[in-house]
Amino acid sequence: MSPSRQGLLLVGGGKMGSALLEGWLDRGMPAADIVVVEPDEAQAAALRQRHEISVRTTAAEAILDGHPAVVLFAVKPQAMDAVVPGYRDLAGPETVFLSIAAGRTVDSFEAMLGTHAAIVRAMPNTPAAVRRGITVACPNGRVSDAQIRRCHELLEAVGEVAWVDDESLMDAVTAVSGSGPAYIFLMAECLEEAGRQAGLPEELAQRLARATVSGAGELLARSPEAAAVLRRNVTSPGGTTAAALEVLMAKGEAGLQELMTRAVAAATRRGKELAG
């Protein structure tokens, strides 16, 4: 297979890999340009049937198909040590390796692929499944401008993309946006439970919490105003919202800002620990 036919090798057809794949195909990328490596036979068969694309079950089979311009690793971080070395023979200036694994550093990939490999470390988040994600990416010094543009296009299929040159920022990125959806889901859980304790029927409390969190998020996404401005806009002096915010914005450890700051710091520390 020629490079023009196999422009992209996707390693891993799980949730995030599938979300990216669907985004690329919906944007008009030819299925013939994509090869997927998925060792799970059932998942591989499902991908073939759903998308009519080429799916291999091993790295060796995929490499025989040709030399890709991009190899995107979409497997779990703990599986990388077993998976990545199988692609070492593809390392060179014409191929960029793009990883979306949390906590796995550029150095760790260079150790497995060689110091001559062009590597981009990226951190997407789960709203990519509905094309509302955000990904932050960091290249090593062997990634060309053209390869950065190509990786940007691929990641942009599922949401916004930002780039940083300082890889040390990636742990904080993971703590804020990578783990962030879980914080928002927890907020919805807490709002729902608070509604139940205030006397609302369970179904109504759940409906109100879900619609409020998702609706406020959509308003934030569409508005040019900062979050703080939007908050002030719905807070009448002496009103019900102000009474609630007085609790949430309390000074010290009881306030939401302090709790969130500590939570992000804990996630950042854990990211550094996982990276070794």
Length, in residues, of the chain: 276
CB 91 within 8 A of CB 102: no
- Cα 179 from chain centroid? 9
Pick from 95, 91, 93, 73: nearest CA to 82: 73
Looking at residue 124, its amino acid is P
Model pLDDT, residue 124? 96
Model pLDDT, residue 2? 37
Mean pLDDT of the chain: 93
**Range with the poorest average pLDDT among 27-41, 156-170, 223-237:** 27-41
Residue 103 has pLDDT above 90, yes or no: no
What sign has the CA pseudo-torsion 66, 70, 75, 77?
positive
Mean pLDDT of 176-205: 98
Per cent of the chain over pLDDT 70 is 97
Q: What's the order of all strands across the beta sheet hosting 34-37?
A: 54-56, 34-37, 8-11, 70-73, 96-99, 118-123, 133-139, 159-163
Name the residue with tokens 């710091």: 265
Residue 232 has pLDDT above 60, yes or no: yes
Residue 5 has pLDDT above 50, yes or no: no
Phi (first) and psi of residue 58, to 5 degrees? -140, 160
> 141: which 2 tokens?
């010094």
Beta strand extents in the chain (DSSP E only): 8-11, 34-37, 54-56, 70-73, 96-99, 118-123, 133-139, 159-163
Buried/exposed code over 18-37 (b: 16+ C-beta within 10 A; e: otherwise): bbbbbbbbeeebeeebbbbb
Summarised one tens digit per residue, pLDDT across range 50-72 is 888 999 999 998 887 778 999 99
Pick from 240, 273, 56, 169: nearest CA to 71: 56
What confidence category does residue 119 fall into, taking pLDDT thresholds of 50, 70 and 90?
very high
Question: Measured in Å, how far apart are the chain's first and last C-alpha atoms?
Answer: 39
Pick from 137, 220, 230: nearest CA to 184: 220
What confidence category does residue 272 fall into, taking pLDDT thresholds of 50, 70 and 90?
confident
Phi (first) and psi of residue 164, to 5 degrees? -130, 150
What confidence category does residue 1 fall into, taking pLDDT thresholds of 50, 70 and 90?
very low
Which ranges of 127-175 does DSSP label H, i.e. alpha helix? 145-156, 170-173
Domains of the chain: 8-170 (3.40.50.720), 180-275 (1.10.3730.10)
Looking at residue 249, its amino acid is M
